[in-house]
Amino acid sequence: MNPYFGEQKTPKNPFTEMYARSQPTKKRGSFFGGMARFVLLIFIGAFFGGIGVAAQGYIFFNQGLPSIEKLKTHVPPTVTEFYGSKGEIIGEFAHQRRYVLTIDQIPKLLQEAFIAAEDKNFPIHGGVDTEAIVRAAKRNLTAGTLGQGGSTITQQLAKNLLVGGEKKFVRKIKEAILATRIERALTKEEILCLYLNEIYLGSNAYGVEAAARTYFDKGVKDLTLAECAMLAGLPKAPSSYSPKRNLQEALKRRAYVLERMRQDGYIKTEEEFEIAKNEQPHISTRTNPYLRAAPDFVEHVRRYVEKKYGTDTLYKEGLHVYTTVDLDMTKKAQNAMEEGLRELDKRQGYRGPLRTMNVKTMMEFLEEKTRSMDAPLKFGQITEGVVTQIDAENIYVRMGSYVQGGNRKEYVGQIKIDPNPKWWVRQPYMRAELRTRNFASGDLPFQVGDLILVRITDPNEKRRDLYLKKYGKTDPEMKNYKEYTEDMVSYFPLEVEQEPIAQAALMFRENRTGQIRVMLGGYGSDSQFNRAVQARRQAGSSFKPVIYAAALNKGFTCSDIILDSPLALSVPGTGEVWRPKNYRGGFQGPVTFRDSIVKSRNIPTIKILQQIGIEHTKGYARKLGYTSPMVENLTLALGSTNVTLEEQVNAYSVFPNRGYYVPGISVTKIIDRNGKVLEEHDLPVFVDDPAQSDLPALQKVSHSTMRTTGGDGDIPDRGAPLVKRRIDEGTAYIMSSLLQGVIKEGTATVLKKIVGRPDIAGKTGTTNENVDAWFVGFSPDYTCGVWVGFDTEISLGDSETGGHAAAPIWGYFMREALRNVPVKEFAPPGTVEFRKIDPRTGLLTSSSEGVPEVFKVGSGPAQIEPRLIKGSRWDHSGSDLDQF
């Protein structure tokens, strides 16, 4: 069914009475009436003589004309809209930006404005306005051009929807024929509704609703008379009369339309006319602030929708796509990522200026920056500045001026040269092609003319010092200090900044629902490459939880003793020997299973993998949701497999989810333009026993996880996904406990200070040469992962581990994400028990030095002897080789 109108009714013209009231009464004189009849009699013979020719012409042009029925079934392309989790519009996709309205949704004043501007006789003509054609012909003859048209609204509709862009003469004839047919088939309301929804009004706005949003940031229902007139002036030349591109011409055109409306009786009073004529336009200069708030997430969803439903459906069919993204959380994640990357960048060292300018170029730069500065600079803001002077104590930087109301405030600042070495005087570790200037360590890397980035710091202390230095003798009590600070040149202390060149990705999701709340595919928004879902990088030690969970499944316990000692492995087919090392070298001797993962010991992890087997571990990784290919050797224990951040986050969420795997989702519902639900992802319900998967849904849902739907009892929502447990509940809880230890006393203790709460757990990851840094962690309700690195395999720098480069970003974000979330313990299931052990031996103990440890029920240690892994050795000689 046509979206503009439903079933056809008897044609009715609601505009005729309105038009008749608006037109002045014409007096007919008897002389002129007689002359008209005389002329008609003279030419009547010629008319009938040519009627045969006209008939032949009509038959010729009538051939191949499209059916008017096409208009009755016309479905216009319209905008697909993406919505955030709180209902914000976060994305729009369309070849033609159009929002379809019914005629009742279009204000009468706006309809009248278009009639006055485009087709004053629209209410009474039958599709072709002979009066307008004669009027246009006279103007064309006078001007000596063919500029004036005379097409009616109905003809324009025929051109846009039925005829297309044929040669002008042929097209005009076809337009006229089709226009008369359209007038017989559709009512005036239906014709005008089609026209006002289809007409192109510039800036990719098709139809009046899109134009109102584009130019005035409001819907048509809120337009003023002056705004209606401005929109009505656009069809003649949308680019030339665009208020965004040529406001003065748009105002002239608006005045013309208002005058036509007054002459045609649509503006009733002189006061109404004067108010509209003098109204100051408020043209929208901004875009929807939400449209660029989560670009990586929106692009991820766009690809999903396009792949599933096709390009035409995405860009033409006006889908409503409801997503899971939380824009508030996304902003917090962006801030955390920027803070962490800037800290990393400073540790990597200063690379040099953006460029170096001569005096002339410096002045041109400062003048241009002054012209483009639309707001005063703020404390904490990062901006460009040019070095203008260097002395023994300071580097002086100018940042342009802000001009308002004839007052000019110049921004000048200084960078203090501290006796203690700053980060920016260290030689960057990275290779030369990433630097813009080479300098020796300890040298001052600046010179006059350097364009650099600076951060404006709190100026209060510096301002007081400057004031006392200048006015201390006359105003020692600083009584006029406030006035002085308002009028003075803005003189700021500055800190050197530079844009980070390392990249990062972050993903944050709910554990039980799988809903992805944040997805950052990189730092900045220029790249189309989403590192959260598209990049496969070595996982490093962040893959170790898979090894340890698989080992718990094989019967290992947290108190098992593993020997951290030299290991030599032969590499099949090469004759080479692999001698793996721990991250900082050295060996700890006997260590517990817990200590091995908490301290991320490599050698014990390899020995565990030897015992449980590579195939078992790969199968376990698949249970946790990993789909990437796995390596087939013992380097798997050190995370040599390439995985995505999305895989990591989904896998880690299984632990706080008590063993249930809930895949991440980014879309909750998709509805087409007619309100039909194309897909809907309800909240999952959890199946207690995977063996029950073939039972009817109501029989296999745990009563403890059913959700009330408002009926007589607790039943799962129709269509809710049934989620199976992938690993046993005891293993999931023990892994949560082990990974809490990583933060309490392991490789991520920095998070104790940053986040400052006990209900978090996770694991760091670092690859060879510090190329990739990871931290993936969770709370009982949320899982978040962070990756940091370069797109090419370049080292992040010495000591830039997962705990140093990635964990702080995770912490800065999770601190804000969990700020209003009460502390919540990881609840132990009934399948585990706690025993006190001696961490040196792994034996049960009653000593005060014992520590509580968690075990699956019945698997705790005896008090007789330590449990050594079968096959482990206290000594490994280079000649006693295990198989790689």
Cα Rg of the chain (Å, integer): 37
Terminal alpha carbon distance of the chain: 68
Provide the residue type at 480 as one letter.
N
CB of 871 closer than 8 Å to CB of 861 = no
- 478: closest CA among 490, 467, 462? 467
Inter-axis angle of helices 225-232 and 208-216, nearest 10: 120
Distance CA 763, CA 746 (A): 9
Tell me which residues are annotated as active site. Answer: 118, 541
Strand partners, 496: 454
Locate 131 and state its tokens. Answer: 């009066």
Q: H or E element: which one contains 789?
A: strand 782-789
Count CA atoms within 13 Å of residue 518 on its CB side. Answer: 26
Torsion of CA 321, 326, 328, 329, to 10 degrees: -150
**Alpha carbon distance 706, 690 (integer Å):** 17
Strand partners, 832: 856
Burial bucket for residue 678 (CB in 10 Å: 0-12, 13-18, 19+): middle
Residue from 443, 448, 490 nearest 466 by CA: 490
**What residues have CB less than 8 Å from 817, skipping those under 6 apart?**
329, 332, 333, 508, 782, 784
Cα distances from 210 to residues 87, 98, 202, 322, 331, in angstroms, run 19, 5, 10, 21, 28
Asked if residue 350 lies in contact with residue 437, where contact means CB atoms within 8 angstroms, the answer is: no
Amino acid (1-letter code) at residue 30: S
How far apart are the C-alpha atoms of 592 and 123, rounded to whole Å?
90
Q: Which amino acid is present at 618?
A: K
d(CA 740, CA 759) in angstroms, rounded, equals 8
* Structural contact between residues 725 and 655, judged by C-beta atoms closer than 8 angstroms: no
> Which residue, 175, 343, 279, 451, is CA-closest to 808?
343
Residue 636 zone, left/alpha/beta (φ > 0; ψ -120 to 50; rest): alpha
- Measure Cα distances from 187 to 100, 127, 160, 267 in Å: 18, 11, 18, 25
* CB-based contact 16:122 (threshold 8 Å): no
Q: Are 282 and 216 in contact (CB under 8 A)?
A: yes
Residue 219 exposed, middle or buried by CB count within 10 Å (0-12, 13-18, 19+):
middle
**Which spans in 627-670 are helix H?**
645-652
Residues 6+ apart with CB under 8 A from 86: 326, 327
Q: How many helices (H) and strands (E) does the chain have?
A: 26, 29
Token pair listed for 68: 């008017």
Helix (H) or strand (E) holding 736: helix 729-745
CA 61 to chain CA mean position, Å: 52
How far apart (Å, rounded) are the C-alpha atoms in residues 882 and 884?
A: 6
SS3 844: strand
CB atoms within 10 A of CB 376: 11
Contacts of 489 (CB under 8 A, 6+ apart): 409, 410, 412
